[in-house]
Amino acid sequence: MKTRRVISLTAFLSFIVLSYTGIMLFFCPEGRVAYWTGWELFGLNKTQYGQIHTTFMILFLITGVWHIVLNWNPILNYLKDKAKKIRVFTPEFNIALVLSVLFFVGTLWGWFPFQQFLNAGESVKIYWANEKGTPPWGHAEQNTVKRFVRGLEVYEAVENQNLIKLSASDAMEQMREAGIEVESGDSILMDIAKANGTTPQALMDIMLRAAQPLDPAAAEPTPQEKAMGDDEFPMPMSGLGRMTMRGYAETYKVDLDRMLAILGEHGLEPDPDVMLKTEAERLGTDPHAIIEMLNSSE
């Protein structure tokens, strides 16, 4: 057995696996969507792709370093000029260096086509969110049943203008009628989903069957009022970064021109048709800070 061949072949195979998992991670949805909907592709979920990518990165690094050691003399020959003297900045090295710097700086500064490639990745994430659905709020799958149903009342009021009443006991009874085994209101939603071979998203759909319509006149204050307070511009529980300002204005029935005018007073000129996440990064802030800025105006 020759060590050089083992190292070269291992590096080659790990490169293939790294490339494959890297491509899958590029095309997979955001973590919150993947965990919420139970997303899988070719039998593996996002977590498994990430774990394999990480472990094979270590294997590739080890075999890569070993490969360099075993091939040190040929590498030195690449750095020699016609006089057989070592010269780091050979024409070949310069080309390799320029390509590396180009990819590094182009990515950081958003040059074409690097930014377009990254934007394509964002578009893929948006596609999966629209196709599969998103959790009502971040890490909702880690909530207990009790906490989840309380948040679900607020979410339905704020996001869907649907006032409902839902108790943990009714939600659990509805799940049990659907064949879902759940121990108590302190059980974690993701744990329940895994134990029953389903997804947190499916559990939410089941629980909502037990929701009772709430008469707005009988609820003082309503869940929506509790969540929104006196703010003119509501703060969504989730998905704000994926909205454009125009989309936000249409969703919450607020004046887009007024929003732009207020932000202009703060020295910000956002593009109303670009995702808030992207625009906020360009403007040196974050989406939630933009809404807070709107509500802080007099």
Q: What is the mean pLDDT of residues 201-206?
A: 95
Of the pLDDT bands very low, low, confident and very high (cuts 50, 70, 90), residue 224 is very low
pLDDT range class, residue 227, cuts 50, 70, 90: very low
Tell whether the model's pLDDT for residue 202 goes beyond 80: yes
Q: How far is CA 98 from CA 88, 94, 285, in A?
A: 14, 6, 32
Specify the 3-state DSSP secondary structure of 77.
Answer: helix
Strands 44-45 and 40-41: antiparallel
CA distance readout (Å), 171 to 163, 209, 210: 16, 8, 6
Q: Taking a C-beta distance cutoff of 8 angstroms, is the pair 193, 141 a contact? A: yes
Rounded average pLDDT over 75-80: 77
Q: What confidence tens digit (pLDDT) does each residue in 115-140 have?
A: 999 889 888 988 888 888 888 887 88
Encode pLDDT of 162-175 as tens digits.
Answer: 888 899 999 999 99
Contacts of 113 (CB under 8 A, 6+ apart): none
Question: What CA–CA distance (Å, rounded) separates 21 from 52?
Answer: 7
Paired strand residues for 275:
244
Query: The dihedral of CA 60, 61, 67, 68: what is its sign?
Result: positive
Q: For 161, left (φ over 0), alpha (ψ -120 to 50), or beta?
A: left
More confident residue, 221 or 213: 213
Q: Is the pLDDT of residue 88 over 80?
A: no
Q: What's the pLDDT score for residue 160?
A: 75
Residue spans of the domains in the chain: they are 3-132, 140-218, 234-296
Name the token pair of 285.
């802030």
| Residues recorded for the chain | 298
Q: How far apart are alpha carbons 169 and 150 in whole angstroms?
A: 12
Tokens of 269: 């000129």
Q: What is the pTM of this model?
A: 0.70
Q: What residue spans of 138-274 are helical by DSSP H? A: 145-160, 168-177, 189-195, 200-208, 223-228, 245-252, 256-265
pLDDT band for 208, please (50, 70, 90 cuts).
Answer: very high
To 5 degrees, how large is the angle CA 286–CA 291–CA 296? Answer: 120
Residue 74: which H helix or E strand, with range? helix 72-78
Q: What number is the average pLDDT over the span 15-40?
A: 94
